[in-house]
Chains A and B, each alone.
Chain A
Amino acid sequence: MDSALSLEGVSKRYGRFEAVKDLSFAVEPGTICGFLGPNGAGKTSTLRMILGLTDPNAGRITVLGADNGGKVRDRIGFLPEERGLYRKMTPVDAIAFFAALKGVPMGEGRKRARRLLEEQGLADSMKKPMKALSKGMAQKVQLMASIAHEPELVILDEPFSGLDPVNQEGLEQIIRGLASRGATVLFSTHVMQHAERLCQKVVLLAKGRKVFEGSVAAARAEAPMHLEIEGRVTAADVAALPGVAAVESVAVEGEEDGVYAHSASLAKTADPQAALKAAFSRGLDVRRFEMKPPTLHDAFIVLTGGDR
Chain B
Amino acid sequence: MRRMFLIARREYFAYARTVGFWLSMLVLPMFILLGASLPGYMRDSAPLRHVAVVDLSGAGVGAELTAAVERNRVKDVADDLRDAAVAEAGPEKADSVRDAAEKEGVEAGVARLKAVAPRTAAAWRTPASKVRVIAPPTDVAAARTVADAERALRPYIEGDRTLAGDRTLDAAVILTMRNGEPAARFWSKGVTDTRAEDTIRDGLEEVVKARRLAAAGVTPEQARELETVRPRLDVFSTRSASGQAVEFRDRLPGLIGFIFGMLLWSTIITGASILLNSVMEEKSNRVLEVLLSSASTTEILAGKVTGVAAITATVLGVWSAFGALALAGVASAAPGIVGDFVSVLTEGGLIVYLLIYLIGGYLMYALLFAAIGAFCETPREAQTLLGPIMILLSAPIIVLQLAIRTPDMALVKILSWVPLFTPFLMPARITAEPPLVEVIGTMVGMGLTAAFMIWLGGKAFRAGALSTAKLDWKGVFALLRRER
Q: Please give the residue numbers on chain A whose beta carbons come within 8 Å of chain B beta carbons, in ascending order.
A: 14-15, 48, 51, 53-55, 57, 70, 73, 76, 78-80, 82-88, 97-98, 100-103, 142, 145-146
Q: Which of B263-308 contact A (CB under 8 A)?
A: 282, 285-287, 289-296
Interchain CB contact under 8 A, B287 and A86: yes
Closest-CB distance, A34 to chain B (whole angstroms): 20
Interchain CB contact under 8 A, B286 and A84: yes
For B289, the chain A residues whose CB sits under 8 A away are 53, 80, 82
Q: What 1/0 flags go to B93-105 for Cβ under 8 Å of A? A: 0000000000000
For B14, the chain A residues whose CB sits under 8 A away are 86, 88
For A15, the chain B residues whose CB sits under 8 A away are 478, 482
For B232, the chain A residues whose CB sits under 8 A away are none
Instruction: Please measure, in the bound complex, the distance between the C-alpha atom of A100 and the C-alpha atom of B4, giving whole angstroms.
Output: 11
Instruction: Please measure, in the bound complex, the distance between the C-alpha atom of A15 and the C-alpha atom of B285, giving whole angstroms.
Output: 27
Verify if B484 is at the interface (C-beta below 8 Å from A).
Answer: yes
Interchain CB contact under 8 A, A70 and B296: yes
Q: Given contact pairs A84-B286, A146-B290, enumerate 18 new A-B contacts (beta carbons under 8 Å).
A: A48-B466, A51-B293, A53-B289, A54-B466, A54-B484, A70-B296, A76-B293, A80-B290, A84-B285, A85-B287, A86-B10, A86-B287, A98-B294, A100-B6, A101-B291, A101-B294, A102-B294, A103-B2
Verify if B3 is at the interface (C-beta below 8 Å from A).
Answer: yes
For A78, the chain B residues whose CB sits under 8 A away are 290, 293-294
For A84, the chain B residues whose CB sits under 8 A away are 285-287
Interchain CB contact under 8 A, A101 and B287: no
Q: Can you identify 20 A-B contacts, CB atoms within 8 angstroms?
A: A15-B482, A51-B293, A53-B292, A53-B466, A54-B466, A73-B293, A73-B294, A80-B286, A80-B290, A84-B287, A86-B10, A86-B282, A86-B287, A87-B285, A97-B6, A98-B290, A100-B6, A101-B291, A101-B294, A142-B290
For A103, the chain B residues whose CB sits under 8 A away are 2
Instruction: Please measure, in the bound complex, the distance between the C-alpha atom of A131 and the C-alpha atom of B484, giving whole angstroms.
Output: 35
For A54, the chain B residues whose CB sits under 8 A away are 466, 484
What is the size category of the interface that chain B forms with chain A? Answer: 20 to 34
Instruction: Please measure, in the bound complex, the distance between the C-alpha atom of A88 and the C-alpha atom of B281, giving whole angstroms.
Output: 11
Closest-CB distance, A78 to chain B (whole angstroms): 4
For A79, the chain B residues whose CB sits under 8 A away are 290
Q: Please give the residue numbers on chain B whose beta carbons come within 8 Å of chain A beta carbons, in ascending order.
A: 2-3, 6-7, 10, 14, 282, 285-287, 289-296, 462, 466, 478, 482, 484
Interchain CB contact under 8 A, A55 and B484: yes
Closest-CB distance, B259 to chain A (whole angstroms): 36
For A80, the chain B residues whose CB sits under 8 A away are 286, 289-290, 293
A-B contact count (CB 8 A): 59
Closest-CB distance, B50 to chain A (whole angstroms): 60
Describe B's contact surface by its main secondary structure.
helix
For A85, the chain B residues whose CB sits under 8 A away are 285, 287, 290
Closest-CB distance, A131 to chain B (whole angstroms): 10
For B3, the chain A residues whose CB sits under 8 A away are 101
Instruction: Please measure, in the bound complex, the distance between the C-alpha atom of A266 and the C-alpha atom of B294, giving whole angstroms.
Output: 49
| Chain A minimum-CB-distance residue to B303 | A101
For B295, the chain A residues whose CB sits under 8 A away are 73, 101
For A53, the chain B residues whose CB sits under 8 A away are 289, 292-293, 462, 466
Instruction: Please measure, in the bound complex, the distance between the C-alpha atom of A194 and the C-alpha atom of B484, giving whole angstroms.
Output: 35
Instruction: Please measure, in the bound complex, the distance between the C-alpha atom of A57 and the C-alpha atom of B6, giving whole angstroms.
Output: 32
For A51, the chain B residues whose CB sits under 8 A away are 293
Interchain CB contact under 8 A, A145 and B290: yes
Closest-CB distance, A46 to chain B (whole angstroms): 14
Interchain CB contact under 8 A, A97 and B482: no
Closest-CB distance, A172 to chain B (whole angstroms): 22
For A55, the chain B residues whose CB sits under 8 A away are 484
Instruction: Please measure, in the bound complex, the distance between the C-alpha atom of A146 and the C-alpha atom of B287, giving whole angstroms.
Output: 12
Closest-CB distance, B403 to chain A (whole angstroms): 42
For A73, the chain B residues whose CB sits under 8 A away are 293-295
Instruction: Please measure, in the bound complex, the distance between the C-alpha atom of A39 and the C-alpha atom of B482, giving whole angstroms.
Output: 22
Closest-CB distance, B239 to chain A (whole angstroms): 54
Q: Quick one: which of B10, B291, B462 has the most chain A CB within 10 A?
A: B10
For A82, the chain B residues whose CB sits under 8 A away are 286, 289
Instruction: Please measure, in the bound complex, the distance between the C-alpha atom of A54 and the C-alpha atom of B483, giving whole angstroms.
Output: 8
Closest-CB distance, B482 to chain A (whole angstroms): 6
For B6, the chain A residues whose CB sits under 8 A away are 97, 100-101
For A70, the chain B residues whose CB sits under 8 A away are 296
Q: Quick one: which of B2, B6, B293, B482 has the most chain A CB within 10 A?
A: B293
Instruction: Please measure, in the bound complex, the distance between the C-alpha atom of A78 and the C-alpha atom of B292, giving whole angstroms.
Output: 10
Closest 4 CB pairs of A and B: A84-B286, A84-B285, A101-B294, A78-B293
Instruction: Please measure, in the bound complex, the distance between the C-alpha atom of A79 and the C-alpha atom of B290, giving whole angstroms.
Output: 7
Closest-CB distance, B23 to chain A (whole angstroms): 17
Interchain CB contact under 8 A, A83 and B294: no
Closest-CB distance, B393 to chain A (whole angstroms): 30
Interchain CB contact under 8 A, A86 and B290: no
For B282, the chain A residues whose CB sits under 8 A away are 86
Q: Quick one: which of B7, B282, B291, B292 has the most chain A CB within 10 A?
A: B292
Closest-CB distance, B26 to chain A (whole angstroms): 22
